[in-house]
Amino acid sequence: MVLLHTCAEERVGAIMVAFSQEVHGGQKPIGGITMSVISMKQLLEAGVHFGHQTRRWNPKMKKYIFVERNGIYIIDLQKTVKKLEEAYNFMRQVGADGGKVLFVGTKKQAQEAIKEEAERAGMYYINQRWLGGTLTNFGTIQKRVARMKAIEKMEEDGTFDVLPKKEVSQLNKEHDRLVKFLGGIRDMKGLPDVIFIVDPRKERIAVAEAIKLNIPLVGIVDTNCDPDEIDYVIPANDDAIRAVRLLTSKMADALIESRQGEDDEATAETANETETVAAD
């Protein structure tokens, strides 16, 4: 996948200028300041444009493909920029409305970014195996989370000190397993308002549960995925660690930015109230 034909690299590089001009020409206003969500250089350097081999593709992704070279599909970054912009604005609105987002990515390339970016945004995550029924049988999942917290309380209140070592060892193993799979949703009191997902093909159970419950999906969708399942498609390489990190961080940025807007408004209101009191 990395060994791309030189001709393809030249063609991708050639469209970089045109893409960049369009991206920067379509800057969005944020709090009175204009800025772009992402640069073409960032996308190229992260390898966002590399799709899967042509024999491993979903025909529904054809509209997001720029060219095929040496048996590999190259994703149209112009469309990636546009779709990322749409996803970013959606996420920003979700955050502004106080919505909760669940970040999901259990493949090795996504695990670290999913955890770190979700935590940075103050949201929830699942980066290990998706447990069937996580959404559709949420009550049972909550009981498992409660069990995890109960074991933690036993350790904190000294219960472990009076239990046999073998039993304590078993409890620790049970706790570690619960934390591994449910630690990222320990504080999630209800179903998420939105799910951000890396590789919907791999996370097909999570996608199916979200669709069943009408939970909007935002996803990094590679050339072997079905884009029709995702509400906000970000056509991109979902196998490169740098690409996944870059795009996941942008979703976290959108959520953080929405809160900054609220903080600015709160500060302005406080300042106005202070001025009013001073005037009185």
Sketch the domain layout of the chain as residue ranges.
6-135+191-264, 136-182
Are 183 and 89 a contacting pair, CB within 8 Å?
no
The beta strand positions in the chain, using DSSP E, are 28-30, 33-35, 50-53, 65-69, 72-75, 101-104, 124-126, 194-198, 217-221, 232-235
Least confident range of 36-50, 86-100, 169-183, 196-210:
36-50
Phi/psi region, residue 157 (left: phi>0; alpha: psi -120 to 50; beta: rest), is alpha
Is it true that domain 6-135+191-264 has CATH number 3.40.50.720?
no
* Whole-angstrom Cα Rg for the chain: 22
Average pLDDT over residues 114-135: 97
Looking at domain 136-182, its CATH architecture is: Orthogonal Bundle (1.10)
Amino acid 3: pLDDT: 44
pLDDT, tens only, 12-60: 555 554 444 443 444 444 343 335 799 889 999 999 998 888 888 888 9
Distance of CA 144 to the CA centre of its chain: 24
Residue 150 has pLDDT above 70, yes or no: yes
Residue-level pLDDT at 182: 97
Quote the pLDDT of residue 29: 40
- Say how many C-beta atoms besides its own lie within 10 A of residue 164's C-beta: 8
DSSP designation for 164: -
**73 compared with 7, residue with greater pLDDT:** 73
pTM of the predicted protein model: 0.82
